[in-house]
Structure 1
Amino acid sequence: MRWKTVFLSDIHLGTRACQADRLLDFLRHHPCERLYLVGDIIDFWAMSRSIHWTAEQNTVVQKLLRMARHGTQVVFIPGNHDEALRDYCGTAFGGVELREEAIHTTADGRRLLIIHGDAFDQVTRHHRWVAVLGDMAYNTLVRINIWLSRARRLLGISGYWSLAGYAKQKVKKAIDFVFDFEDSVIHHVRDRGLDGVVCGHIHWPTIKDFDGTMYANCGDWVDSCSALVEDDSGALRVVRWDASMARPAPELQPHKEDAECVS
C-alpha cells in the first residue's frame, strides 16, 4: 500500500552497522506521499574515525533522491551525528529539503513536532565525550551482533535477536530515571501547544500517549530496523521490517504499555 507519510531516523550511513539492504527493501515496499528523515541519516561522527560506505548505502542515497524527483516530498532534519548539515537548513539539495524542525499535520488534523531529539539529551548537550564513548560501545555491540546472527543462522536458530537491544533494555530504566528524555520532549511539545512529537535519537521505536499528547519514536536502522508510518486516516504505527519475509514483522512491542497504532 502507499502510505501518506513515512518517518525514518538513525540510519547511520557510513558505518558498518548500517543495515542499508533492509532499508532499501523497506523503501521498495513502502511508497509514500511524504518522507521525513529525522536525523542521524549520515554518521559523520563515526566517519571521522573510519568510513565504511557500501554499494547498498550508496543506493539508499540514490533511492531517496529518486523519490524526491518523482514527487515524494522529502524533508531532512539533521541530528547530532550529521549536525554539520544544520548550517544548510532552509535550503534544498536534489529536491530534499533541509530543516531544523518541522510541524506535520496528520490526516486527522493533529499537529506534530518533528525533531531529532538530541537537544533533550543532557549527555549529548553537556558531556559530548561521554556520548561519543557510548556511541562507540553501542556500535561495538551491533557489530558483535552481526556475527551472532550469522552463528544463529548456521545453527538453524530462527528469528532475530539483538545483543544491543537486550543491553539497551536492561539499562533503559536507569537512563530514563536520570535523564527523562521522553518527559522532557513531551513538556516542550505541550509548551508549544502541539498535539505530539515524532523524534529519533535514542534508537527505541515506540508510540505512547502521555495524557493526550503523543510521543512517537522512529527507532533506527542499525538494530531494530523500524520506522513510523501514517495511513490515510491519520493513524500512526510502528513498523519493524523483516527483510527475509518482505513484510512488516508483527511482533514489535518494546513495552507492554506502548501502542503500535495511535489514531
Structure 2
Amino acid sequence: MKKVLIGAGLITLFSCSKKEDRSVNAAPPVKVEKQNRDSATAPPWISKNRDFLDKFPQIIPDTLRFRAPNYDDQDLGKKLTREEVQLFPNGLQLESFLDGGDFEAVGKFELDENTLGIVARMPGEYSFTALKLFFYDKKRDSFLPRHFELADKLGDAGYSEEIRSWLFWDTNKRLTAFTHVYTSVEKIDPVDAVRPSKTNDYYMVTLTPEKFDTVRVNAKTFAKMRHLLNQK
C-alpha cells in the first residue's frame, strides 16, 4: 500500500569608469564583434517533440498549488496520445492505463536554460488521480529519469491518503516543493483491532534533476507556510 507519504556612491562609480572603459577598449575588436554576431544569430531551440511540448501551457512556480483530481475530473489539460505518453521515462508502469487513459498536459516552466519542468496528470494507485513533475532535457531532447509526485490520493478499506504540494523558488533560486501528506485510518469492522488515527505531515523538498533533498518542516517554517493550506 502506498505511503508517503520562495550607495557605493556616484563619485566612486565615476572614478572607476575610465579604468573599465580602457579594459573594454583593450579587447581585440574582432573578438568582440564575433561574439556579438554569434549571439545574435544563435537559433532558437526547437524540439523534435515540439507538438507534444506545446500541449503543456506555461505555468509559474510561485507557491502554485497542485491538488489531486478526482478520478472522474476532466479537462485538467490537453489529452496526450498513446505515442506521446511513451515519451515519459521508463519505470512508471503505465502499460495497463495506455488504452483510454486520461493522461493530460497540466503545465510546463523553465527550470534552467537547459531543462524544462513538466507537470502531467498520471495514474495514481488506482486511477488518474496523480500529478507528477518531470524534467525534460533540452540538449538530449528527452525526459530525464527522475520524477516527483506533486499530488495524489487514494482510499482502501478504511485507509486514506492525500498528497498536495506548492511549488516555488527558494531564496537560493532553487525549485522547492512544500508538501502536505494527510493520512487517515478508520475502523471498518467493530472487532477490528485497528486504532483510528489522523496524521498531517509536512515536508520541504528541494528539487533538481539529479536529486531530491527532503526535510521535515519545523514549527518556524510551518508558521510561514500554513496560510497556503487554506487555499480553496
More helix, by proportion = 1
Larger Rg: 2
Q: Say whether the fold is shared (TM-score over 0.5).
A: no
TM-score (norm 2): 0.22
| Structure with more strand by fraction | 2
TM score, norm. by length of structure 1: 0.20
